[in-house]
């Protein structure tokens, strides 16, 4: 009887060891699968971000392409060609004259009464004071 008890205890402990080993193996398999799933999800998220960025770039390039098509269409127009030639290349048609107005030195002077003109060595604020209040400092 004692042998049977020992045998059953031995079998029970043996089954318990096998169950622990199986549980450990299952946990390891679960951990490996779980980490791989997480890696795949992270990779998928990264690729989706790249796809979104590339789609934005594509849209930007398509917008620029449409703008360039519009500009080319405008440039092929005869009146637009003439405007470009006149404004950018400084050319003219036969019989036309070009007048150049140079605005480099536009000066404004205050016309003062010659009798009330202040001394030339006064500072600007003193001239204004003299102009408005007609007294000399």
Same domain, 53 and 74: yes
Task: Give the N- to C-terminal CA distance of the chain in Å, as an integer.
Answer: 135
Whether 81 and 132 map to the same domain: the answer is no
Considering only 10-19, 56-65, 70-79, 85-94, which range has the smallest mean pLDDT?
A: 85-94
Q: Is the whole model's pTM more than 0.85, yes or no?
A: no
Are both 93 and 36 inside the same structural domain? yes
Query: Predicted confidence band at 107 (pLDDT cuts at 50, 70, 90)?
Result: low
Both 94 and 45 in a single domain?
A: yes
The answer, yes or no, to whether residue 109 has pLDDT greater than 60, is no
Which residues span the domain enclosing 53?
A: 2-104
3-state DSSP assignment of residue 137: coil
100 and 115 fall within a common domain = no
Q: Provide the domain count of the chain.
A: 2
- Rg of the chain in Å (alpha carbons): 47
Residue range 64-74: mean pLDDT, rounded: 90
**Does residue 10 share a domain with residue 66?**
yes
Residues 30 and 65 in one domain: yes
Neighbouring residues of 104: CB distance < 8 A, sequence distance ≥ 6: none
Burial class (CB in 10 A: 0-12, 13-18, 19+), 75: exposed
Do 55 and 95 fall within a single domain? Answer: yes
Asked if residue 120 and residue 80 are part of one domain, the reply reads no
Instruction: Using a pLDDT cut of 70, give the percent of the chain over it.
Output: 82
Instruction: Look at residue 3 in the predicted model and tell me its pLDDT.
Output: 74
Same domain flag for 59 and 30: yes
| CA distance readout (Å), 38 to 52, 105, 134 | 21, 72, 88
């Amino acid at each position: 009887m004692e042998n049977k008890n020992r045998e059953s205890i031995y079998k029970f402990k043996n089954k318990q060891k096998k169950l622990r080993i199986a549980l450990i193996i299952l946990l390891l398999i679960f951990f490996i699968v779980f980490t791989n799933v997480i890696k795949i999800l992270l990779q998928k998220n990264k690729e989706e971000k790249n796809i979104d960025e590339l789609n934005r770039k594509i849209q930007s390039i398509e917008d620029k392409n449409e703008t360039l098509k519009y500009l080319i269409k405008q440039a092929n127009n005869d009146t637009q060609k003439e405007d470009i030639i006149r404004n950018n290349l400084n050319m003219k048609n036969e019989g036309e004259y070009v007048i150049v107005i140079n605005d480099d030195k536009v000066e404004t002077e205050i016309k003062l009464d010659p009798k009330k003109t202040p001394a030339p060595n006064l500072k600007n604020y003193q001239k204004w004071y003299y102009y408005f209040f007609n007294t000399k400092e």
